[in-house]
Amino acid sequence: MIAIVDYGMGNLRSVQKALQKLGYEAEITSDPEAVRRADKVILPGVGAFGAAMENLRRAGLDRAIRECIESGKPFLGICLGLQLLFDYSEETWTAERERGLGILRGRVVRFPEGLRDSQGNLLKVPHIGWNALHIVRQDTLFNGVAEGSHVYFVHSYYPEPEDEQVVLARSDYGVHFCCAVQHANIRAVQFHPEKSSAVGLRILRNFAESGA
């Protein structure tokens, strides 16, 4: 069974429906024990970094996520679920720097103002829409996914990993930013596979069929 972690933020049902369409059992749960029992875990999310971490801690889901990752279970972070894996975010929710799960070294930063595309057009933040996926290194998550495939983004922040070896893919939005990572049994993407048509479904299938 695949557990989709419910901490009160994000369009969880769309992730569940995409997996069910592919024929996989997926349960939306806010119960830490159900997360621990799952065969695979997905951490989705949309919204504020600080509020998300507070909700995870309050429910004891932060500990359950760490234990699942430490046990070697396949883990997939989506959008905010990618950002939460890192040490901290520049997104301000309190007066202090927002601390993440700290499972991957690095920080989460905001797109700078004044970004322009290759034609010189001013780019809006948040970044909303389809962008090309530039695969840095191959991984089972991208089996059957062609270089340059388009995926769907909705975000104002993106990760800057300390270790470049964890970067799986990048995309361009005025800057060349990290949009997918992998370390051991952890895989995470900044884009929304559940909203990325056939390419996204292929990525979700790859995760659902993967081992560690």
Give the residue numbers marked as catalytic: 79, 192, 194
- Give the whole-angstrom CA distance, residue 210 versus residue 202: 12
* Residues 6+ away with beta carbon under 8 Å from 101: 53, 56, 62, 65, 66, 84, 85, 86
Rg (CA), the chain: 16
Q: How many residues does the chain have?
A: 212
Alpha helix ranges (H) inside 60-103: 61-71, 80-83
Q: Where are the beta strands (DSSP E) in the chain?
A: 2-5, 26-29, 40-43, 75-78, 86-89, 98-99, 104-110, 127-132, 134-135, 150-155, 157-161, 167-172, 176-183, 186-189
Q: What is the dihedral of CA 139, 83, 30, 51, to 10 degrees?
A: -170
C-beta separation of 182 from 165 below 8 A: no
DSSP state of 160: E
